[in-house]
Structure formats: C-alpha cells, structure tokens
Structure 1
Amino acid sequence: MATVDFLRKLTQATPASCDQEHIPLVVHFSSQTPDRSDALSGVGPSPLPALIESALMIQRSGARGLVIPCNTAHAWYDDVASAIHIPVLHIVDAAVEQLPPALRGQPVGLLATSGTLNSGIYAARHPEIHWVLPSAHVVDLFVMPAIRCVKSDDMTRASQLLDAAVYSLVEQGARAIVLGCTELPLARSDRNLRVPLIDATDALAHMAVRWALSGLPPASEHMKGL
C-alpha cells in the first residue's frame, strides 16, 4: 500500500499533460524483505542483502536514480548507496525540506516505526531540528498498531490510532509533525490536523520529480528514469 501510495503521489506531482510526459519508472515490489524494525531491534534477520539485491536489480534495468519509499529502510541507506553507482534520494532530506520556514526553529514531532526511532536516522541526518519523539508507550500503544492496521487495510482503526499519537506529540509541544513511516499518511484524516503534518511519502515523490526533471525540458525526450 505504501508503494502504491508513493506512485500515486509521484504521478500527481509530475507536471505532465499527456502519458508521454510522465517519468519512466521501474518499480520493484519486494514484500519478502525481512522486517526492518525487527532487524533493528535485534529480533529478526537483516534486510540489507534483500535491499542491495533489489537496488542492483533496479540499476541493471537501466534506472538512473533510486528512491526507497520506506523510512526504516534508510537505516541501511549508506550500505545500499555504496553498493550501486546511481544516486539514491534520501527520504529524511525530502521530509525536512517540506517543513514550513516559519517552523524551522520550532519543535518538530516525529511519528515512525520503533526501528526508525531507535536508529535515530532523522536526528542524525538533520541534527539542527528540535525533534520531539513519542514515548515507547505511545509507539507500542498507538503508532505500531496504526501501521499494522494500514497493512491489514483497517483504515478506520488506523486513523483513530494515528490521531491519538498526533495528540500526544502536540501535548509535548510539537508545532509540526513528520509522518515518518510510509504507512502513516494512509491513515491521515481531518481529525489529525491539529498541527501541520508532513507527509514523508509525498515529500519524497516531489523530490524525485524535481530530480528526474532537473535541467530537462518538460517533454519526455531524454527524461531521467527512476
């Protein structure tokens, strides 16, 4: 669902007036990749071999850039990027770019998997941001169940859980919140809009479009592919 959501947002972000002006894509669904959060918690196998295999497959297909619509997988970003010779866009950079300028110096909440939070990839990539993180209780009671509900297509329950998680970070002083798991934007509803919510999936889609079209005419000829 997260990858399908990313593809929809990528298509909507592309300034195309006909089929031929859209960005050529190679999409590799690798649902058998070991769970990233389990690996980071030390209770599951590493996904790195599967991630590298997927990246190499996409590179061999002729793609000239790579995006990974999974926040937690970016804990292995350096290893994946060093295994291939095409650029890999970073979802954390994309999400931070979307922060409203007026809120850059304000506390920013982060809702993500336990693996993403424990890996610290957001704070490590952008230490200048004052990150507000959910407690382990909020992650276990609301965030991870919301993600599981999205995966099982129970969107009503997912939205209720996400709303509770958003409220907890607002109570901690967050002035904006990054939805740092690509399942969470699918649970977004009007109830969640207590503060600006930054959709990391949408941010990555817009970054990918800008990269693919950079320095190129709007027509499809010579377009870079993802």
Structure 2
Amino acid sequence: MKTLGLIGGTSWHATVEYYRQINQKVGELIGKQANPELIIYSINIELMREQNKEKIQDKYLEVSKKLQEAGAEGIIICANTPHMVYDYVQPKINIPILHIGIATGRAAQDAGIKTLGLLGNKPTMTGNFISSVLENDFGMKVIIPEGEDLNQSHHFVSKELTQGTFSEEAKAFYLDQIQEFKRRGADGIILGCTELPILLKGIQADLPMLATTDLHIEMAVNFILENNL
C-alpha cells in the first residue's frame, strides 16, 4: 500500500472522519488484518480564520514538504477551503495532492449531473478552487446561494459546524437552500464543507447530494490501494 499524508485540523472533527473512513474502507477491501500507513499533520484552524492567503500558502507548503520528507507518496487535504493553496503548493513538491474538486467532478459526471449548487463557507463558494475545476475540466455549471443566504451559509460553517455544533436551525437552512437550488435549475448539490454531510446525515433530499468528504476519501482509498486491487 502507498503511504498517504493527511493535512488536517480545519476542523479536527473532519480530520477524524477522514482518518476513520480511510482505515475502515481500506479494511473492507483488503481485510481488517491490515491498515494503511498514514501520516497526519494537524494544523491550527486559527490559521484559516486569519484569512491571510500568503501565510496560509506558506504553511501548507511547509507541511507538504514535511510530509514528503517523512515518506508520504501522496497528500490529501482534509477539508474543502484549504484547496485554495493547491495551485501554489502542488508545483513545489514531488508528490501528488489529491484534489477534492476532481473527486467531485468525476462523481457528478458519472451521475450525469450538469448544474451543481455549491454549499459551504464563503471562500469555498465564491473562490474558484472547486468551481473552476468543475467548469473547466468537466464542463459543468456551478451556482451558489444568493444575497444574504451566502452570508448565512458562511456563518453556519464558520461559527457552528467547524466548531462541532450541529443545530436544527442550520439543518433547516441547508434543506431550504437545496430547494432553492432546485428552483434555479440545479440537478445536484455539492456539500462543500466537510461537516455538512455530518449535519445532513440520513436526510433524503429532492436532489442528489455529493458529499465532497466521502468522494475525497474514496479517491484516497483508490490511491493507497492502486497497486493492490
């Protein structure tokens, strides 16, 4: 099996999900007598809250190089928003970063989805590190919440979900957003915050929901077992 480096901490709740599910899914495929070699570097979430892009890029490059030196053969960033560093970091290291947008695009393509509503925090929704991959690499259309709903989504992610609070108010808000996206022509939903699948676990929505976390984890498992299946 290949050794995978995990950059986590934003938030640690999401990092736990990545670690647990990667081990669980690898075990389901090769048997529970073995588990993959994983190297975890947990970053202080305060770094992302500062919103200093240069500082964030430098930290992720530093951590990526440390994981590479420690023997990682690939890297997975255990959150959506930090993928903003991908274009800066990837050319400066010699191992691949598994991009969450590619994992999402492949799943949407397989499902025949053409227009996707993107939910998450404001940097994820308004940035291009996921939407540009879907639009340019897969020819899909991405839409985001409008007006005050954009700020409300950011509030729930940054002030509740990433701090381990999963309220009924947040759940109702996101279910309403799914209905609004459907009205605007979406035929699929991107749960673009690692904690959103936790919040909406067990919910049946009117549109297929693509949980970026789950798709990203599948990509990680395939990478780890590339030479063993």
TM-score by length of 2: 0.82
Query: 2:80 is matched with which residue: 45, 56, 71?
Result: 71
Q: How does 1:21-170 map to 2 (within 5 A)?
A: 22-32=35-45, 34-35=47-48, 38-39=51-52, 46-99=55-108, 101-104=110-113, 106-127=114-135, 128-157=139-168, 158-170=170-182
Q: Which of the pair is proportionally richer in strand?
A: 2
Aligned position for 2:184: 172
Aligned length: 211
How far did residue 9 of structure 1 move? 2.3
Structure 2 gaps of 5+ residues are 1-12
Contact 1:65–1:86 (CA under 8 A) maintained in structure 2: yes
How far did residue 191 of structure 1 move? 4.0
Q: Percent identity?
A: 24
Contact 2:161–2:195 (CA under 8 A) maintained in structure 1: yes
Contact 2:117–2:186 (CA under 8 A) maintained in structure 1: yes
Aligned position for 2:228: 217
The one-letter code of the counterpart of 2:51 is: D
Contact 1:69–1:91 (CA under 8 A) maintained in structure 2: no
Query: 2:214 is matched with which residue: 182, 202, 205?
Result: 202
**d(CA) in 2 for partners of 1:103 and 1:23?**
32
Contact 1:180–1:200 (CA under 8 A) maintained in structure 2: yes
Q: How does 1:10-21 map to 2 (within 5 A)?
A: 10-14=22-26, 15-20=29-34
SS in 1 for 2:74: coil
**d(CA) in 2 for partners of 1:97 and 1:37?**
32
Contact 1:65–1:88 (CA under 8 A) maintained in structure 2: yes
**d(CA) in 1 for partners of 2:187 and 2:50?**
27
How far did residue 79 of structure 1 move? 1.3
TM-score by length of 1: 0.83
Contact 1:109–1:174 (CA under 8 A) maintained in structure 2: yes
**d(CA) in 1 for partners of 2:201 and 2:228?**
37
**d(CA) in 1 for partners of 2:108 and 2:45?**
33
The one-letter code of the counterpart of 1:38 is: Q
**d(CA) in 2 for partners of 1:46 and 1:166?**
34
Moved more, 133-142 or 177-186: 133-142
Change beyond 3 A, Cα 1:147–1:160: farther
What is the root-mean-square deviation of aligned Cα atoms in Å?
2.2
Q: What are the superposed Cα offsets for residues 45-69 of structure 1, whole Å, 9 maximum, x if unpaired? A: 6311111121112112111110102
